[in-house]
Structure 1
Amino acid sequence: MKSRFLRLFSAGWAVSQLVSSAVMAQSNASMLTPFEHNSNQTATYAQIISWYQQLDRQYEQAKLVEIGKTDIGKPLHLFLVSADKQFTSRPDRVTLLINNGIHPGEPEGIDACMMLARDLLRANKLPKNVLLAIVPVYNVDGCLNRGVSRVNQNGPESYGFRGNARNLNLNRDYIKAEAENTRSFQSMYQSLKPQVFIDNHTSDGADYQHVLTYFSTQKDKLHPAVSGYMVQTFMPELDKRLTAQGFPPAPYVNNFSDTPESGLLGFNDSPRYSTGYAALFNCLGFTLETHMWKAYPDRVKASYVFDEAVLRLCEQDAQTILANKQQADKAVREQTTFPLSYKLDRTKTDSITFLGYAAAYKPSEVSGLKRLYYDRAKPFTKRIPYLNTFVVDAQVDKPGAYVIPQAWAEVIAHLKRNGVQLQGLTNDTTMAVSAYYVTDFKSAQRPFEGHYVHTGVKVRTEPQSIQFYKGDYLVKTNQAANRFIVETLEPQGVDSFFAWNFFDSILDQKEYFSDYIFEDTAADIVKKNPALRKQLDEKRAADKAFAENADAQLDFIYRQTPYYEKTHNRYPVYRVN
């Protein structure tokens, strides 16, 4: 069943009716976006920046600023809208951050926000208690690489590319921060400290009636003060407003099997993703996903409606949103146990109303084999299962502090850029610490975003006395950034710095032995150490392959000697209690 908006639009609504008729009645052609001139076009990079520069010149309540570099050499911009012409975050108002074009082949948010910013300024309908911050286009690199790369997408005629200048997917880069774009974004984010965040996208996958789907920051990862308000108040009201505007929403279609009607799964947005990164700082995050096969004007309108509805809810509930985040920040400072990974709880099932199309199978004209298709002549409305409860899979008690040697400058720079307070040691000093040794991990067979990501990390802990030097860093865990600190510095974390290969050099052994010489040394060692001889015999008895491998037995003895380097597999971030 088509929404009222879609029926009217297909009956011949003019493009100008995508925005307020009162605003468009002014008929100022110079203030029409490229999309409004041609509804199957999205703005180019030059047009986007020129548009916001024009708004900056025209309105005192608007300001376009350069916030850093991108990998392609162009600046990253931020557009700020403030009723009182004050363009910094303040504790008495909500900051809403909207990100566009992280995947420039999904450009609806770019065009929608251009119109939304103009309409708010022209109609002078700016919320007094909300600072609106818009990233006009985040992946500038991909935006400049214009073409038709998304084969399954219904318009616009041309658009940007998913990867950036280094062929990185920026929505997997929020922890490793390899792209200049990401580093600029992180610095901006920590300056703004938003309470609410939107990332505008376009979905792919199954076909269904909904123009608009979205997912929020995974509710079970947020502090209860933030999560409870989001689930019980903010999202129900948001869904009500979207439905009233002709866009009944559904959760992002992450389905059980081939088709959505089998049921949907909540999205586990780890910190590598934009909303997962925002969650580390107690921020409400929303990833909007308009449907790729709906007409482009419908998708732009849906993005406009979604972003405006979130803005108005921020205006309506500003004091509650501020109070919830302040409560969560305080609690995280004092929190003692932190989750490192989550898993779906399949014992808890909810249900949602879903507007779908009947799925069926027929022979493929290409392969002759069975292929899936969706029959738009057979729409349905039904309740389907929805699994969206996640439970902690691994957790850790925080230490009083971490110590990081200054040699790991890239990690230190990441921590500083993300608002972590570090204290430099003023003197050389020996400290009693708990050291991790990495005992096991798995690595991908092929690179993912340029990395052989580590999973299944196991460690053992050993108390040690270690020499540190002036200029090394102490990271105390009494900060609002505690979640970022723990989830990146604990090696078992799903998106830890260790997982992303920042510390791989510790996995290399630097000194070895010459077996023909060490044979005599090893024999002498086991003669003088009956306990070690016993361990060797027991291991040979229990492990046939070991018993038949002379080199493995020499290595076993070598690792018990003072010659074996203590730094091999020793994780170089130390816990201090």
Structure 2
Amino acid sequence: MRKKIFSFTSLLLLLLPFTLIAQTSPDEFLGHRVGADRKLADYNQIQAYFKKLDKESGKIKVLTIGKTTLGKPMIMAVITSEDNMAKLDTYRGISKKLRDARGLAPDEARKLAEEGKVIVFITCSLHSDEIGSSQAAMEFAYNLVTGKTPFDADKVLEDVIILIAPTINPDGHQMVTDWYRKYVGTKYEGGRMPWLYQHYAGHDNNRDWFMLNLAETKAVTKVMYQDWIPQIHIDQHQIGSSGAR
């Protein structure tokens, strides 16, 4: 019996390296380095990459948070430890209770704060021609789930739940990448599109945070004020090549 157990255990150990799923890097998936000259990942590619990483790691889960004005799915990746991932509803509930702690006794509020996790919401490429953060989001997610960071990513993910929306204007992101690719290598390379990259608001989509007219704004604010209640929100923009205004 002991010999059988030993043989079975040995077989498992031999098979283990071949059954573990390696996480695909953005470079491997795209066929070029993120940020390479004259190479942009479009929204379809970014969405597909995040979904692939979801299948390959228990530390990331891709959710659809809404639909764009033109009907594209808006995705958001949840990145945290596997233990936290199993208790997401619990931590969301704690965050909602602490949103307005006036109805809680001080001891209860303190206990919830100690039990809960910090929720950080990172939104990228609201302005679609500020495209850098949408590209970097893939590498950021990959580095977090694989631990290829200058800090202890596993330790951070024990205490923090990170939400990443790789672009909160997918319609415009696809337009900008399609336009750039059409003219790359010609004298028109880098020229501006002659139409709006948000169907109604164009660059002024960042003026919609108080009116909530746009489908994209409604989806993002639902994450912020109803579903997750993050303690930190980082909205990634990008400076122009001519410097600060």
Q: What range is the shorter-chain TM-score in?
A: 0.5 to 0.7
1:204 shift after superposition: 3.5
Pick the aligned partner of 2:124 from 79, 100, 121.
100
Equivalent residue pairs, number = 177
SS at match of 1:203: coil
SS at match of 1:202: coil
In 2, Cα distance between equivalents of 1:29 and 1:69 = 28
1:38 shift after superposition: 3.1
Aligned partner of 2:54 in structure 1 is: 56
Aligned partner of 1:17 in structure 2 is: none
Structure with higher strand content: 1
Whether the 8 Å contact between 2:26 and 2:49 is mirrored in structure 1 is: no
Aligned partner of 1:183 in structure 2 is: 218
Whether the 8 Å contact between 1:45 and 1:140 is mirrored in structure 2 is: yes
Higher relative contact order (CA 8 A, sep 6+): 2
Q: Which moved more, 1:84-93 or 1:46-55?
A: 84-93
Q: Which moved more, 1:28-37 or 1:105-114?
A: 28-37
1:62 shift after superposition: 0.5
Pick the aligned partner of 1:110 from 131, 134, 145.
134
**1:450-496 alpha-carbon deviations (Å, 9 max, x no partner):** xxxxxxxxxxxxxxxxxxxxxxxxxxxxxxxxxxxxxxxxxxxxxxx
Aligned partner of 1:192 in structure 2 is: 228
Query: 1:179-328 alignment to 2 at 5 Å?
Result: 179-190=214-225, 191-204=227-240, 207=243, 253=244
Structure of higher CA gyration radius:
1
Query: CA 1:27/1:134 → structure 2, altered by over 3 Å: closer, same or farther?
Result: closer
SS at match of 1:121: helix
Aligned partner of 1:65 in structure 2 is: 63
Query: CA 1:157/1:48 → structure 2, altered by over 3 Å: closer, same or farther?
Result: farther
Note the residue ranges of structure 1 that are not aligned, 5 or more in a row.
1-25, 149-155, 208-252, 255-577
Superposition TM-score, scaled by structure 1 size: 0.28
Query: CA 1:157/1:118 → structure 2, altered by over 3 Å: closer, same or farther?
Result: farther
Whether the 8 Å contact between 2:173 and 2:197 is mirrored in structure 1 is: no
The one-letter code matched in structure 1 to 2:132 is: E
The one-letter code matched in structure 2 to 1:123 is: G
SS at match of 2:167: coil
Aligned partner of 1:166 in structure 2 is: 200
1:132 is aligned to 2:187: no
Aligned-pair identity in percent equals 23
In 2, Cα distance between equivalents of 1:132 and 1:203 = 24
Aligned partner of 1:506 in structure 2 is: none
Query: CA 1:80/1:34 → structure 2, altered by over 3 Å: closer, same or farther?
Result: farther
SS at match of 1:137: coil
1:34 shift after superposition: 4.8
Aligned partner of 2:6 in structure 1 is: none
Whether the 8 Å contact between 1:95 and 1:132 is mirrored in structure 2 is: yes
**1:370-399 alpha-carbon deviations (Å, 9 max, x no partner):** xxxxxxxxxxxxxxxxxxxxxxxxxxxxxx
SS at match of 2:120: strand
1:198 shift after superposition: 1.1
**1:342-380 alpha-carbon deviations (Å, 9 max, x no partner):** xxxxxxxxxxxxxxxxxxxxxxxxxxxxxxxxxxxxxxx
Whether the 8 Å contact between 1:41 and 1:158 is mirrored in structure 2 is: no
The one-letter code matched in structure 1 to 2:206 is: N
Query: CA 1:114/1:162 → structure 2, altered by over 3 Å: closer, same or farther?
Result: farther
In 2, Cα distance between equivalents of 1:106 and 1:28 = 20
Aligned partner of 1:243 in structure 2 is: none
In 2, Cα distance between equivalents of 1:193 and 1:50 = 27
Structure with higher helix content: 2
Whether the 8 Å contact between 2:51 and 2:62 is mirrored in structure 1 is: yes
In 1, Cα distance between equivalents of 2:26 and 2:68 = 34
The one-letter code matched in structure 1 to 2:74 is: L
**1:264-296 alpha-carbon deviations (Å, 9 max, x no partner):** xxxxxxxxxxxxxxxxxxxxxxxxxxxxxxxxx
1:159 shift after superposition: 9.2
SS at match of 2:77: strand
Aligned partner of 1:45 in structure 2 is: 43
1:166 shift after superposition: 2.0
In 2, Cα distance between equivalents of 1:162 and 1:34 = 29
1:51 shift after superposition: 0.7
**1:31-75 alpha-carbon deviations (Å, 9 max, x no partner):** 567543834322101111001001110111100010112101111
Q: Which moved more, 1:62-71 or 1:115-124?
A: 115-124
**1:219-272 alpha-carbon deviations (Å, 9 max, x no partner):** xxxxxxxxxxxxxxxxxxxxxxxxxxxxxxxxxx46xxxxxxxxxxxxxxxxxx
In 2, Cα distance between equivalents of 1:162 and 1:72 = 13
In 1, Cα distance between equivalents of 2:196 and 2:231 = 27
Query: CA 1:157/1:79 → structure 2, altered by over 3 Å: closer, same or farther?
Result: farther
Aligned partner of 2:19 in structure 1 is: none
In 2, Cα distance between equivalents of 1:54 and 1:110 = 16
Whether the 8 Å contact between 1:97 and 1:194 is mirrored in structure 2 is: yes
The one-letter code matched in structure 1 to 2:125 is: G
1:203 shift after superposition: 2.2
Query: CA 1:71/1:33 → structure 2, altered by over 3 Å: closer, same or farther?
Result: farther
SS at match of 1:145: helix
The one-letter code matched in structure 1 to 2:137 is: C
Query: CA 1:198/1:37 → structure 2, altered by over 3 Å: closer, same or farther?
Result: closer
Superposition TM-score, scaled by structure 2 size: 0.63
In 1, Cα distance between equivalents of 2:77 and 2:192 = 22
SS at match of 1:36: coil
Query: CA 1:186/1:28 → structure 2, altered by over 3 Å: closer, same or farther?
Result: closer
Whether the 8 Å contact between 2:26 and 2:138 is mirrored in structure 1 is: no
Query: CA 1:66/1:42 → structure 2, altered by over 3 Å: closer, same or farther?
Result: same
**1:76-119 alpha-carbon deviations (Å, 9 max, x no partner):** 11111011224453442111111111011111111111101001
In 1, Cα distance between equivalents of 2:168 and 2:59 = 22
